[in-house]
Amino acid sequence: MPKSTVSDVRSMSVVLGKRLQAERRKAGLTQGQLAERLDLSANFIAHLERGSRNMSLSSLAAMAGVFHIPPSELLKEYEGEKEPKMAPAVVALMGAVKRLTPGQARAMLLFLRAS
């Protein structure tokens, strides 16, 4: 198993913090409300969301419980960070393609194959 560097751990903390913030907002909770449910301070939640503090496994499990998701779900964003990201232009193109009618999609496919 490769050794983790300090920068790896820092990156993981930042990404986990972003995921935590997204789940908290999706649940409609303030940092204070989440902290109260977990018997933690709002300041600690803020540090976690910024990635400047690390959490224990028991805190990770408790947070997942508040959000009604498995703990592994909070780590998914980090796993995804290892994958190459698509360029914004590609993401925009994919969005446009999804909005095409079936006829437009066939015409575009024929055009692309002819190129």
- pLDDT tens for each residue of 70-79: 888 887 754 4
Q: Which residues of 1-12 are buried (b: 16+ CB within 10 A; e: fewer)?
A: eeeeeeeeeeeb
pTM as predicted? 0.60
Domain chopping of the chain, boundaries:
6-81, 86-115
Q: Domain 6-81: which topology?
A: 434 Repressor (Amino-terminal Domain) (1.10.260)
Q: Which residues of 49-72 are buried (b: 16+ CB within 10 A; e: fewer)?
A: bebeeebeeeebebbbeebeeeee
Confidence bin at 65 (pLDDT 50/70/90): very high
CA distance 27 to 46: 16
Residue 85 has pLDDT above 70, yes or no: no
pLDDT (tens digit per residue) in 23-51: 999 999 999 999 999 999 999 999 999 99
